[in-house]
Structure 1
């Protein structure tokens, strides 16, 4: 294991998760426990030997644990959530239009929602939004100044959005507006028209992007 040999919290953290692919493994596990084959399938481009090496290292450092062939984050590993979400928000500004070979998984949209949502942006709001992304469904619940994104349909959603994974990420990055996506037949939204604006505000999207 490489070591920066610097007595600094950032350097110590990078000693653990700074290797290529490591934070993407953490991203997958922040969404819940996964089996080895599931991780390999959702980390396209990562070879099986490298994945095995990264998992072994993270287990050794106490970031993840393995039980009955299922990997999940430890309490220490879950402590990475805020840092990984912040890096996700920061990285969105670097996303342009995806290349033809770029892979995009629907559940990465759920991760993006978790990273972007902030219920305090709309004080007093109490409603839910449902997102149907390719073959997956998840929702965002906003109440009490907090926002929580989870898998599954919403209970009485104020808005339902249907689109594909690439379009959803492009909406989040601001490289495509909702109006442009709808005009191209890539997006449909139903429910309270004002709910879409409130949802966009919770996600911190610019008015023109929404």
Structure 2
């Protein structure tokens, strides 16, 4: 946006000048979902260059939306006040613009990045755990390891015994994650399969918490969430 902006004295215009730059709202979205470190924000937006991410964060700082504290980027009260705006925009998208996924929107590593941060490990056995996720349609496999340092994603087999395996085609697992397809339905009709140790597989469906947008998407799609 140029120095003169849109040349309109209007609060909508002022908000657009701050938030309508490419990637800005997605950065704010991820911060509202708990991402506070530069590398985490970069991993959650793989199409965004690190140079542009730095620029956008500086712009948000100047606008008073974000504060850079140590190695974290924290939302200010003005940033937190965007929560109903961002998720309200997501609700509009779910109702009016959200159809089947496009091929270019299906990134298995990005999906795993989102999923691994939403697994409720407190509902699973209290020990080191290794969960394997298989996407047979794109010949991709990932592992989520929970150890003393917390959960992390592995793109190669860590060499520990796998406690549970979740398998399904990439479009299906994306739609489960986002609430368009209930996990219970996908498990019942075989589009998603969970195998492994019973003490892990039994509580795992409940522990696989969905996207923060899943409830909104499910309501817009007219399907039950679970």
Residues 1:105 and 2:111 are matched in the alignment: yes
- CA positional deviation for 1:97: 2.6
Structure 1 unaligned segments of length 5 or more: list them. Answer: 109-132, 140-151, 156-161, 192-198
Aligned to 2:13: 11
- CA positional deviation for 1:209: 7.4
Task: Render the CA deviation track for 1:60-105: whole Å, top value 9, x for unaligned.
Answer: 1100000112111101001100010011122234241341663343
* Structure of higher CA gyration radius: 2
Aligned to 2:90: 88
Q: SS where residue 71 of structure 1 aligns?
A: strand
Q: SS where residue 43 of structure 1 aligns?
A: coil
| Counterpart Cα distance in 2 of 1:51 and 1:6 | 28
Q: 1:153 to 1:169 in 2, by over 3 A?
A: farther
**Residue pairs, 1:19-34, within 5 angstroms:** 19-34=21-36
Please give the TM-score of this superposition, normalised by the length of structure 2.
0.57
Task: Render the CA deviation track for 1:94-130: whole Å, top value 9, x for unaligned.
Answer: 241341663343565xxxxxxxxxxxxxxxxxxxxxx
| Counterpart Cα distance in 2 of 1:71 and 1:179 | 37
Q: Which has the higher contact order (CA 8 A, sep 6+)?
A: 2
Contact residue 182 and residue 223 of structure 2 kept, 8 A: no
Aligned to 1:206: 222
The one of 63, 69, 72 equivalent to 1:70 is 72
The one of 20, 36, 39 equivalent to 1:37 is 39
- CA positional deviation for 1:35: 1.6
Contact residue 179 and residue 215 of structure 2 kept, 8 A: no
Please give the TM-score of this superposition, normalised by the length of structure 1.
0.60
Q: 1:58 to 1:163 in 2, by over 3 A?
A: farther
Residues 1:184 and 2:190 are matched in the alignment: yes
Q: SS where residue 15 of structure 1 aligns?
A: helix
Aligned CA RMSD, in angstroms, stands at 3.5
| Counterpart Cα distance in 2 of 1:13 and 1:163 | 43
- CA positional deviation for 1:32: 2.2
Q: 1:85 to 1:169 in 2, by over 3 A?
A: farther
| Counterpart Cα distance in 2 of 1:200 and 1:190 | 23
Q: SS where residue 64 of structure 2 aligns?
A: coil
What number of residue pairs does the alignment pair up? 159
